[in-house]
Structure 1
Amino acid sequence: MANATELLQADAAGYAAASSIWSAGGLVAFPTETVYGLGADARNDRAVARIFEAKGRPRFNPLIVHVASVEAARRYVDWSDEAEILASAFWPGPLTLVLPLRADSGLSPLVTAELPTLAIRVPAHPVAQGLLTEFGGPVAAPSANPSGRISPTTAAHVLAGLSGRIEAVIEGGACAVGVESTIVGLADQASVLRPGGVPIEALEAALGRALTKHTAGDPLVAPGQMQSHYAPGAPVRLNAQERRAGELLLGFGTVDADLNLSPSGDLVEAAANLFGHLHALDSRGSPIAVSPIPEIGLGRAINDRLRRAAAPRDDRLPG
C-alpha cells in the first residue's frame, strides 16, 4: 500500500516513472479525455486487486482496459465487423466496446469480474497515449475516485479522494469531455450499456441502425451501471425549476445559479463542467438542486450521471 502519493509531470521522466510503477504492480492515476483513470497492469492479479481495494469497489463490477491502438485491442477480444466500424469512426476517443474475451488474453480474471466479455477502449488524451505507449501493455483503469463518488476531472480531485492509497497521479490538466466513455456491447445484439462521451445518435449514424438501450433491470455487464454512482455527499434533486431554501443550484441555461454548467445551453460545455462543478458544490455541504438538462446528444450522458448521483443511497451496493 502506498504511503505518499507522488504527483508526476506529463513528460518523458513522468511517463517512465509511471510505467515503472505499473511494471512493479503499483497504481498510477492518469488523465483521459473523459475523466482521470486509476491504472494498473491488467495482467497482474495483485495489481488489479489493489484497484478494488484503493477505491472500495465491489469485485463484481468489471473494469475497462485501456490500450494504445486498435491493433492492441484485437489481441484481447474477438473482433467483429461492427467493432471495426465503430473503432474506425471513434477511436481514439471516448468510446468503450464490450466484446468476447479471447481465451489467450492473459488478462487477470478480476478485470472482467469473471464475465466472458471485456470492456476495452483506446483513449485520445495525449498523456494517456504517451503512458500507454511507454508501458506497452494493457492497463485496467476505472475512474480514479472512491467507489460511488463524484468522478475526478483534475489531478486535485484524484488526490482529494485517493491520496495515500495509490503510488502516483500524473498531472494532465482538466479533462476535456468530462463524462465517462459511452459503452457499447457487441458480444450479442449491439446495445448501449452506458451513455457517455460519444452521443448515441453518432453511433447509430455510423452503424446505420438503431441501438438497443440498457435498462435498470438488466444484469450488470459493464462499468457504470450501478443504480447509485457518481454521487456527492450531499443529497441531489433533479429537474429543479428553482432553488429551495438551503439548497445550492447547479444551473443550465439562463438561470440564476450558484454554478452553471453552461449559461448558453451548450451540452458539450455542460458535460466538461459536470463533475468539477459537483465537486465544488459538494465541498460547501448543502443539498444540491440541478436544472433540467435536455435528453439529447451529450445530455443523455449528463442525465445518466445525475440520475445515479441522485439515487437513494441505501440502494448503493457495498463499496
Structure 2
Amino acid sequence: MSAKTPTRLEPDEPGIAEAARLLGEGGLVALPTETVYGLAADARNDRAVARIYEAKGRPSFNPLIVHLPDLAAVEEIAELPGAARDLAAAFWPGPMTLVLPLREGAGLSPLVTAGLPTVALRLPAHPAMRAVLEAFGGPVAAPSANPSGRISATRAEHVIAGLGHRVDAVLDAGPCAVGVESTILAPGETGLRLLREGGLTRENVEAVAGPVTEDVTPGKVEAPGQLSSHYAPGVPVRLGGNAEAEEVGIGFGPGTADLNLSETGDLVEAAARLFDILHEADALAAARGAGAIRVADVPDEGLGRAINDRLRRAAAPRD
C-alpha cells in the first residue's frame, strides 16, 4: 500500500458499498460504531487479519472482537447458552461483547481468537456499521482503530492521525455517541464474569442477569482491552488532584482546567468525550512541552467505572 492518506468515505450507499468491496478484497477499513471506530477486516481472511495486527502494532496474544449483523450469524460461529441468549435479547444490538465457545468449523482466521477456544462477538448498533455488515455478508474483525496501547479513536480524524496510510479507507460518520468500548462479558457454568467495563453499565447487566464477578485483568488475556497498560497518550497520565504547572489538566465537573470531560458532571457526556479529550490533551502537552496529563477524580459508578478503567490503564507503567 502506498504512503498516502486513506480514502474518506461518506456513510451513504456508495460509501457503504465501497467499504464492503474493500473488505472483500482483504483491505482494512476504519468503520464507526456507537462505541469507537473499529479497524475492520474480513475475519475469515488470515492475511487481512494479520494486517490489523501489523497496522496497530498489536501483540498477537490479544484477541479481536468479531462484529456480526444478527443472532443467526452468531450461532454459526459460537455456542450460545441460555444466559448468553438472555443478554443478547436485552442488549444486542448495542455496546456489549460476549465471549463464547467457538464452534468447530466456524471458519474464522485463528489469528482472530489468538489461539483461544473462545471468540468475542458483538452486534453493533451504529447504522453505518450495520449497513456495511449487511453489504459485506460475513464476519468482520474490528478492534479499535488506533495504534495498540494508545488512545482509541472516536472520530475519523483520530484514525487518520494515528494509523494514516496503514488503513485503506475510513467511513466517516462523525463522532461516536458512546465513546468508550463495549462491555465484555463471559457467561459460563460458574456464572457471569465481567472481563471489561464499557458502554453498557454493570447495573444494567445485573438487572437482567444477576450479580457479575469482576475479572477485568486475569493472568491470561481472554478478551480485548485487558492489557494493564492501554489507551495511553504520549506523556504519562496522573490521576486525581489538581494539575501542576508542568501538567495539562483535565477536569470533571465545575472548576478550572485546561480541558473538561463534562463541566456539569455528566458521566454519559464524559464517556462520550473521554478519548477525544485525551487526544486534545496529548496534543496540548506536546505543544507546551508538558511532562504529564493530570485527570481529576471521576465518580466510580455507572459509566464512571468504564471511564476510570480506561484512565487507570492509560496511567499504568508502560512496557
| TM-score interval for Structure 1 and Structure 2 normalised by the shorter chain | over 0.9
If the length of structure 1 is used for normalisation, what is the TM-score?
0.96
- Alignment partner of 1:130: what SS? helix
Contact 2:196 2:216 in 1 (8 A): no
The C-alpha deviation readout for 1:95-126, integer Å capped at 9, x for no partner, is 00000000021000000001000000000011
Output the CA distance in 1 between the equivalents of 2:2 and 2:73: 30
- Superposition deviation, residue 188 in structure 1: 4.5
Aligned residue number for residue 255 of structure 1: 255
**Aligned residue pair count:** 312
What is the aligned counterpart of 2:202 among 183, 200, 203? 200
Output the CA distance in 1 between the equivalents of 2:35 and 2:61: 23
- What is the aligned-residue RMSD (CA, Å)? 1.0
Cα distance change, pair 174–46 in 1 and its aligned pair in 2 (3 A): same
Contact 1:66 1:141 in 2 (8 A): yes
Aligned residue number for residue 65 of structure 1: 66
Query: Identity of counterpart residues, as a percentage?
Result: 59
- Alignment partner of 1:272: what SS? helix
1:244 is aligned to 2:244:
yes
Contact 2:28 2:169 in 1 (8 A): yes
Aligned residue number for residue 317 of structure 1: none
1:141 is aligned to 2:146:
no
Give the residue type in structure 1 aligned to 2:280.
A
What is the aligned counterpart of 2:300 among 280, 284, 295? 295
Give the residue type in structure 1 aligned to 2:246.
G
If the length of structure 2 is used for normalisation, what is the TM-score?
0.96
- Alignment partner of 2:120: what SS? strand
Give the residue type in structure 1 aligned to 2:234.
G
Contact 2:216 2:226 in 1 (8 A): no
Aligned residue number for residue 310 of structure 1: 315
Contact 1:100 1:187 in 2 (8 A): no
Output the CA distance in 2 between the equivalents of 1:17 and 1:130: 12
Moved more, 225-234 or 246-255: 246-255
Give the residue type in structure 1 aligned to 2:157.
A
Output the CA distance in 2 between the equivalents of 1:28 and 1:300: 30
1:110 is aligned to 2:115:
no
Aligned residue number for residue 124 of structure 2: 123
- Superposition deviation, residue 59 in structure 1: 0.6
The unaligned stretches of length 5 or more in structure 2 are none
- Alignment partner of 1:163: what SS? helix
Output the CA distance in 1 between the equivalents of 2:237 and 2:69: 37
Output the CA distance in 1 between the equivalents of 2:227 and 2:160: 24
Alignment of 1:262-273 (within 5 A): 262-273=262-273
The C-alpha deviation readout for 1:29-78, integer Å capped at 9, x for no partner, is 01000000000000000000000001100111000000111221111100
Give the residue type in structure 2 aligned to 1:311.
A
Moved more, 248-257 or 302-311: 248-257
